[in-house]
A = this chain, B = another copy of it.
Amino acid sequence: MEDRVMGYLGPAGTHSEAAARWLEAHVRRADGAWRLQPFADIDEVLHAVETGEVASGFVPVENSLEGAIHVTLDTLARSEALVVAREVIWPVHNELMARCDAGAVRRIYSHAQPISQCRAYLAAHFPQAELVEVASTARAAKLVAAAPPEEGLAAICTARAGELYGLSPLAHEIQDSMANCTRFFEVVRRGTPPAAPQEKLLIICQLDGSRAGSLVNVLQEFAVRGINMTRIESRPARTRLGDYIFFFDLETAAGEACIEAALAAVRAKCSWLKNLGAFPVLQA
């Protein structure tokens, strides 16, 4: 039997790869032979799922310090083909790694999210360093490894990426809060049999924002049925400033009939509504 493929945000050594490998080891082995395939960005991972190039795609959706990963939410809102199969909650460890000493650091490379997550640490310890955003933490490690030590480059990356590229650690766990987790979604094509247990549900809808109380009218349909909403996120509808779409994360504990009734009621109050599926939540 041919291997099935899960796409992820590469290259090797990123936080995404570490979390994808964990999912593969803890869930996939029971589920047959799987192979991981890196892609250059989140857009490409999700596009490969849509076209069928890969069976599933593994992408970040939210960080506990920095908030939503917009490209993931926006693509899920736009696509007719994608649903969520699993959620993984992944604790993030950021390392500062380099070929030079801490005192010689003049420029620090990383992805935009780790730079934000470590802002207070960097301001306190490296106030003079230039912060350079690149496409991934692994790319940051690679760039630092390629430059001579006297240039004073450092990378915020995973310990694994630093080791892959021959860097030495300058500081461990430099994120501003120890409560640093990233949520990932495994995304599959609509029609794929869902995974169990179905603990959470993701709903996307567009409301008429020009009317007072249109959001409260929708939320009431969940509240009166005792359906807990664990998260609400608004994103621009990309039509005009002031038009938004909303993402609701709902717990399924209230039961299927209850959820179905709430969704029918909400659908009647929205411009459009998409059900992105019910899925298990895995704590890594």
Question: Contacts of A241 on B, CB cut-off 8 Å?
Answer: 62, 64, 89, 179, 181, 183
Quick one: closest B residue to A210, CB to CB? B228
A227 B212 Cβ-Cβ under 8 A: yes
Partner pick for A240 among B119, B179, B213, B239, CB 8 A cutoff:
B179
Q: How far is the CA of A211 from the CA of B229 in the complex (A)?
A: 8
The A interface, classified by DSSP as helix, strand, loop or mixed, is mixed
Question: Contacts of A134 on B, CB cut-off 8 Å?
Answer: 132-133
Determine if A192 is an interface residue (Cβ-Cβ < 8 Å). Answer: no
Determine if A230 is an interface residue (Cβ-Cβ < 8 Å). Answer: yes
Determine if A196 is an interface residue (Cβ-Cβ < 8 Å). Answer: no
Chain A's interface size range is 35 or more
A236 B64 Cβ-Cβ under 8 A: yes
Q: How far is the CA of A65 from the CA of B70 in the complex (A)?
A: 11
B236 A66 Cβ-Cβ under 8 A: yes
Q: How far is the CA of A228 from the CA of B89 in the complex (A)?
A: 36
Residues of A152-194 at the interface with B, using a CB-CB cut-off of 8 Å, are 176-177, 179, 181, 183
A70 B71 Cβ-Cβ under 8 A: no
Nearest Cβ on chain B to A18's Cβ, whole angstroms: 17
Q: How far is the CA of A215 from the CA of B231 in the complex (A)?
A: 10
B70 A177 Cβ-Cβ under 8 A: no
Determine if A220 is an interface residue (Cβ-Cβ < 8 Å). Answer: yes
Quick one: closest B residue to A249, CB to CB? B242
Q: How far is the CA of A258 from the CA of B88 in the complex (A)?
A: 44
Nearest Cβ on chain B to A64's Cβ, whole angstroms: 4
Nearest Cβ on chain B to A264's Cβ, whole angstroms: 18
Determine if A52 is an interface residue (Cβ-Cβ < 8 Å). Answer: no
Task: Rank and list the top 5 A-B pairs by shortest CB-CB distance, nearest first.
Answer: A213-B223, A216-B219, A64-B241, A212-B228, A133-B133
Interface contacts beyond A179-B238, A179-B240, A212-B228: sample of 9 additional A-B pairs, CB < 8 Å, sorted by A: A66-B236, A67-B234, A212-B223, A212-B226, A216-B220, A216-B222, A219-B219, A232-B232, A232-B244
